[in-house]
Amino acid sequence: MTTPSFPNPFQSLWLGHWCGLSGLAELPGQLMVGEAYGRLAGLPATLAARLVANAGLVRQFVADWRPALAAAAEAEASVRTAILSQASLARAQSLSENLRLVTMAWTEGAMSVFWSQPGLLGTPALLRLHEALVTLAGAYLRAADASLAGFCRDLTEHVEHHGLHHHEELLTLWAQAARKAHGEALRSGLAEAYAAFGNAFNPLIARSAMPEVTP
């Protein structure tokens, strides 16, 4: 793979973190994508990185659920029993885990707006924004955990009625759970977290020297 070069070290840190989370190294097409990272300055390369990172999440998600699905395929017991078994529920944590990864990737992305601003790193203003983002991510995670039972129920019903032949069926159910997670989050602290996030910009705004936005 071509050694990537990045416009600044913070961008490198961000992308490296993101790609590490997504298990990029094992994905097909890594050579082309690796070259894409080397030309990171443009949006197409950034979007390519997003696609690959997302594919990593998908692959991990399906892999996490495969044992439960195998149990459902082979068990003499019902699909419902297999999916709702203790082992399956343990595996169901992968939903939460995947949402955590997405959330963290997003959080890191949001922070990257400010990382490259001169004189900001390590300042109380930036730390406060980071705290607000972590709080925001926490609100999403609580909701993601709360939606696990619904995901198991939806998956069970889908398999019972339609079987499961393609990973996209699993992903559709996952997407539904993600949407539900957002709705849950709004009712369980996200609204407050949004406000706190907005307020966390005030110390940054109070610093008259930033952000540097001239072309």
Partner 1 sequence: MKPDLAALDAGLARYLDEIGLAAGQLAMAPPAQATGAARRLVHADHHARLWAYEAPEAKTAIVIVYAFVNRPHMLDLDERRSLIRRLLEQQISVYLIEWQEPDQTYAGLELASCVLEVLPALLQRATGDFGAKALPVLGVCQGGSLSLMLAARRPASLSALVLLVTPVDFQSGEDDLRRFTIGLDTEALRTNWRSLPPAILDHLFLCLKPFELRAQKYLHAHRLAERPQGLAEFLRMESWIFGGPRQSTALVADFVRQCYQNNALLRGTLRLHDRDIRLSAITAPVLNVYASADHLVPPAASRALAGKTAGDYQELAFVGGHIGIFVSERAQSLIASGIADWLFRRENITTKA
> Nearest distance from residue 96's CB to partner 1, in Å?
12
Interface mask toward partner 1 for 81-120; x: CB under 8 A? ------------------x--xx-xx--xx--x-------
> Nearest distance from residue 208's CB to partner 1, in Å?
4
- By CB under 8 A, name the one of 10, 13, 164, 188 that touches partner 1: 164
Q: Give the integer Cα–Cα distance in Å for 143 and 131.
A: 19
Please, what's the b/e burial string for 99-112 (b: 16 or more CB within 10 A of its CB; e: otherwise)?
A: bbbbbbbebbebeb
Binders in 172-201 for partner 1, by CB under 8 A: 175, 178-179, 181-182, 186, 191, 194-195, 197-199, 201
CA 207 to chain centre: 31
Binders in 11-50 for partner 1, by CB under 8 A: 27-30, 32-33, 35-36, 39, 42-50
Q: Does 208 bind partner 1 (CB under 8 A)?
A: yes
Residues contacting partner 1: total by CB under 8 A: 77
Q: CA 84, 56, 96, 180 torsion: positive or negative?
A: negative
- By CB under 8 A, name the one of 72, 84, 92, 95 that touches partner 1: 72
Task: Name the nearest CA neighbour of 15 among 1, 29, 5.
Answer: 5
The angle subtended at Cα 213 by Cα 210 and Cα 215, nearest 5°, is 150
